[in-house]
A and B are shown apart, each in its own frame.
Chain A
């Protein structure tokens, strides 16, 4: 961590980190220091590690971005645990968490990205494809997350570069629009850090 004031952001994975960077924009992102826990199972321990960094005292605020998945209560409990680990230093810094997509509904960061795709005609085609396939993720555990992931992959694979992951598709023609209003709550969250 840098020895100067910053907003600390802890994300559960690389996808969330990429989306946050694109949605925040270079000015806000430049004032943040982001750690990637590389999995939600490591979120609390990564928060504890962050709080032990001597330069964490420079963090004016600390925020966490994670997915609700299919269990809002468990996600909120996980966020509370990670925030507690970050707040262990006893300082008066602001602590907050953003749970994708909206803190309550089942889903993930992909749910937001799915809503923000630029090509409405292609989106309709993907909807049709998912219908033809018989909504194969509906009965799975984490159904909404799986459905959004599958939908987004199908959409992105029809762009000029079919190898892009969704967090790489923000500046691509027909990709994901980081300025889309669906990202406004996340943008506001990042702006407050």
Chain B
């Protein structure tokens, strides 16, 4: 579990230190204060391996449609003030024996030839290189190489521990595969309870292949009724499915704008479910919100469960600097009782 993070020169964060992270962390603050950037930093530095792949992943979410081999348009916005030569660094500390520190910087030396086969090209010259220095007890370096011929990321098998839920619904093939594994293991019921909080007509979920090739997820709304493709359900239902199927299979869950699409009346149930699952499975959760109802719902759910695992992290930006204040469950509860605004 990550207990502290330091972010330097990453996106709009010149320097941010957060200490005292909990099992479930709800990040709040005004627009452009760096909530999503902080979550991205936490995702990138989850493990010493695969940092470059995770940077590529988070940037793909923000820069979809931009060629990843185009350094200036795809990679440069990652750096504070777009200063790729100055680099950015993320360090996390917690239950790991040694801190994990990842430094990313545009290489000052000429990039080597792309001599190995890549997804894009082989034998072509790279025009830029991104150095990744990894410190985790020992120290080593990797390089991301790119140019007109394509992009080459350091080899990374991927741990599959982390799941990122974006603000917009996107039930993916990965989600369906995760659900398939759960259903096969007879664990479908773990999701159905919370999905019924969103829509009490739901009696089951089925994976079908109407075309014979592509698997699709269908929802059963009544025992003998026709099945409905999940895409026909509301945004909140689809996001709740993504969130829950990820939570019961992941090690770390990131949810950007958790309350998106969810009616305020079910937020407390969602938090109660997440609290129980995260405690039982020992997973760490990071989420963002702009909603006061979402904060208070989390506080009520954790209070009811007598669970001290909740932290609300408030980010504030002033004079170009970002600060973080951490509130435990009791402080969040007091703020709700006395009308203190936690969202910045």
Contacts and interface: CB of A to CB of B under 8 A. Distances in A.
Contact of A42 (B326, B337, B344): B337
Interface residues of B, number: 15
A52 B338 CA distance: 15
Contacts of B327: 49, 52
Given A38-B338, A42-B338, A54 B323 contact: yes
B337 A54 contact: no
Interface string B279-304: 00000000000000000000000000
B330 interface: yes
A49 B331 contact: yes
B338 A54 contact: no
A49 B334 contact: yes
A29 B338 CA distance: 21
B334 A52 contact: no
B331 A48 contact: yes
Given A52-B325, A54-B316, A54-B323, A38 B331 contact: no
A36 interface: yes
Given A45-B331, A45-B334, A54 B318 contact: yes
B189 interface: no
A42 B334 contact: yes
A45 B318 contact: no
Nearest to B314: A52
Contacts of B325: 52-54
Given A35-B340, A38-B338, 17 more contacts: A36-B338, A42-B334, A42-B337, A42-B338, A45-B330, A45-B334, A49-B327, A49-B331, A49-B334, A49-B335, A49-B338, A49-B340, A52-B314, A52-B325, A52-B326, A52-B327, A54-B325
Interface of B: 314, 316, 318, 323, 325-327, 330-331, 334-335, 337-338, 340, 344
User: Which 6 residue pairs across A and B have the least CB separation, nearest first?
Assistant: A52-B325, A54-B316, A45-B334, A38-B338, A49-B340, A42-B334
